[in-house]
Each structure stands twice: as C-alpha cells, then as structure tokens.
Chain A
C-alpha cells in the first residue's frame, strides 16, 4: 500500500514568489494534516482537515498561507508571497479519522526561499 505522497520533494524560490505543495494521503484516510518543521525543531501543525473541512487552522498564517482539500482526498498548501522565514520542511500526514492518533507522515517538501 502506498504511503503519503508529497511533491515536490525540494523547491527553491526567490522571496515574494508564490509556491504550492501537494499531498496525497493514504487511501481511505479521512484526516489530513499539514505541518511546518523548522531546522532542529519538531513539526508544528498548520492545518487539519476532516474530509474536505478544515477543522483546525488556528496556526495557519492566513495572510499568506492557504490550503484546500476540495474533494476530501488530496490537498494543496500554498504560500503567496513567500518570505525568507518560510524556508522549512512542510510535512503532510494522514490518519484514518480524527479519533485515531496514528498519523502517517509523508517525506516532506523542503522549501528554500532566497
């Protein structure tokens, strides 16, 4: 069974440019998470989806970050415009539902903003 798929794996952009990350969760998993991981730190939740509904986006900087999961399957996280401080690894994870604690993580997208 395929795990959580993320693309691209690496992205280098100049500041003020837009960027988008894509995530396809494990088949059948209703809950999808986007995390931000800075170097030397643990993941920090940005947004959590239950199917197509964002149930927790309190940590998402909404002035420049947006996310969608239109059909309740794959998801896109966007930054527009990117800033130098956005350089980090963006992790996607999924779980069967919101009541289970077993999250499966993708390999992440490493973003570098120049």
Chain B
C-alpha cells in the first residue's frame, strides 16, 4: 500500500524548543490527519485538516494543509517531555481510504 513520506525520521530536542515536521505525497488528498502514537498503544488523533491552505491549532500543536494538497506540516511549540512519541500523518481521499506516513520519532530531553 501507499505510504506517505515524513521528515525528519527522528528528532532529538531540548525541552522548551519548537518542533516542525512535514509529510509529502505524490497523490492529492482531501483530508490530512496527524496522529501521535505512544509505545504499546494505538495512534491517537491530534488534528484533522479538511481544506487546502487550512491552518488549525490544538493547544501547542499547529498543522497546515498544503495548498497543493500533497503535503502537510505539524508544528509543536514549547515542547515538554510528554510530547515524546511517534507522530504519523495520514491522508484520506474521496474513497475514504487512509494512507499513513512513515512516522517521525520525537525525543524530548529534559
């Protein structure tokens, strides 16, 4: 199945720093989603984006739906230790088929 490309693959940052990660696809999507997955758990939805150019925030998280509809960005401001985990993007098309990215592993150093 198709997998979206995420970068960076992993990040090691100091507590309090801002984080940026992105996701790209060769296909156009109608919906972009960002999930966080903790070890031994399933992914949890953080933000959903429905319109090209849309910028949506959820607390310290901000995500944008790229205007080309082939990419999306997630920013985390003022990182804290509990932000540690793997972040996945996902794109959905008109057939409601979901394709997930390869993940970005985030480590926050206190």
Contacts and interface: CB of A to CB of B under 8 A. Distances in A.
Contacts of B3: 41-42, 44
Interface stretch (B12-20, B40-48, B60-68, B72-80): B40-48
B50 to A, nearest CB: 8
B1 A107 contact: no
Interface in B23-45: 31, 33, 40-45
Interface residues of A, number: 22
A91 B31 CA distance: 21
**Interface size, B (range):** 20 to 34
Interface string B87-98: 010101001111
Contact of B88 (A4, A42, A101, A107): A42
Contact of B33 (A41, A44, A101): A101
Contacts of A103: 45, 98
A20 interface: no
B102 A107 contact: no
A93 interface: yes
B106 to A, nearest CB: 14
Nearest to A3: B42
A99 B43 CA distance: 20
Given A42-B88, A45-B97, A108 B42 contact: yes
A72 interface: no
Nearest to A56: B97
A44 B40 contact: no
Contacts of B95: 56
Contact of A42 (B40, B92, B101): B101
A4 B96 contact: no
B100 A98 contact: no
A40 B40 contact: no
B90 A42 contact: yes
A41 B102 CA distance: 5
Given A42-B101, A107-B41, 14 more contacts: A41-B102, A42-B4, A42-B90, A42-B100, A45-B97, A45-B98, A99-B96, A101-B92, A101-B98, A103-B45, A106-B42, A107-B40, A107-B42, A108-B42
